[in-house]
Amino acid sequence: MQQAAPLIGIARLAAQSTVISEKRRIEYRTLPARRWLNRCQSARVPFDWTINPYRGCEYGCKYCYARFTHEFMELRDPAAFETQIYAKDWNPASFHEELRSAKPGQVIGIGTATDPYQPVERRLRLTKSVLSELLVLEGLTIFITTKSNLVARDKKLLKQLSERNQVGVTITVTTMDAGLARLTEPYAPRPDLRMRAVAELAEAGVRTGVIANPVLPLITDSEANLESVAQAAKKAGACEFGAHVLFLQPCAQRVFFPFLAEKFPQHLRRYEASYQSGAYLRGAYPERIEKLVNAIRERAGIARRDRQNFVPEPPPGSQMLLF
Ligand code: SF4
């Protein structure tokens, strides 16, 4: 019988990790981390550094593009991304050392791959620990992206961090329709709870924006849907609003297409045709959505939100859309 190749790197560390706890659907493990502050030199994302305290995300959004990150650990079942959550081993002293590399003017993105305020953060407080250490920095820009209202827990810390750095929180809300959100983002907090967190942060003086990413063609792309998110964001005190069309890598397609087949079978063929040759859509459809979002934003009286959008820009020559 042929022997399996030995695991190396992050896959070996994941295989050797220890279970911290389990709940009905999810197993939590610790993961040794060589670094917490990861250098990001791609011109297609607006960060110099990224920090992701967790690997995997139990919110289980059907369109999540980060599922591929579990494949680095040889976990190829796309469901493992939302049921096997890894918390990185926290060592404040070595993180403090790593922070010496971050220079004024640079940008740190927190939660660029998985949600830094997913439920286990309530107990482990890794994101909060990171923010506490970041207080030594001065002159940097620090962005946090989340779907969780738990971020409001850290409003005082975020306000303190913003005294010497530019700090921005972005909360993702794709729809105000709780039923639709329950389908597409089954374990994430309700949209109204997320908007309440926007209001709490804004009241505390923390710069907070809302993004309706991803815009799901034929599902969340109506003017009424996007307008309701923008208006709720404005009412909650958000200072920015933005929305970009779905980016759907093959690993995400393996979850999203069966989801469509079950819940939106009438749209499946158009999605398959549109995303068959790549993750991005180009052409008239995203241009129309961009104009629509601009008009909605102007009507709501809310600024454009661009820089914190960490979904990479499409490479030149990606495919034409069919929507
Ligand atoms: S909250 Fe973000 S990282 Fe988590 S499953 Fe949803 S899209 Fe993925």
Residue 70 Cβ inside 6 Å of ligand 1? The answer reads no
The reported pLDDT for the residue numbered 14 is 67
Q: What is the pLDDT of residues 3-55, one digit of tens each?
A: 556 666 766 676 666 666 656 789 999 999 989 999 998 877 889 999 999 99
Which protein residue has the closest C-alpha to ligand 1 atom 6?
61
**Residue 55: DSSP 8-state:** E
Give how far Cα 233 sits from Cα of 4, 194, 306, Å.
51, 10, 16
The structure's pTM equals 0.89
- CB–CB of 120/20 below 8 Å? no
Distance (Å, whole) CA 178 – CA 73: 34
248 lines ligand 1 (CB under 6 A): no
- Whether residue 85 has its Cβ less than 6 Å from ligand 1: no
Domain coordinates in residue numbering, the chain? 9-304
The Cα–Cα gap between 67 and 50 comes to: 17
* C-alpha to C-alpha distance for 79 and 66, rounded to whole angstroms: 12
What string of DSSP letters covers 110-171? Answer: ESSSS-TTSTTHHHH-HHHHHHHHHTT--S-EEEEEES-GGGGGGHHHHHHHTTTSEEEEEE
- Burial profile 212-221: b = 16 or more Cβ within 10 angstroms, e = fewer: bbbbbbebbb
**CATH fold of 9-304, please?**
TIM Barrel (3.20.20)
Asked if residues 117 and 150 have their Cβ atoms less than 8 Å apart, the reply is: yes
Distance between Cα 76 and ligand 1 center (Å)? 17
pLDDT tens readout for residues 163-178: 999 999 999 999 999 9
- Site to substitute for ligand 1 among 147, 148, 193, 215, most atoms within 8 A of C-beta: 147
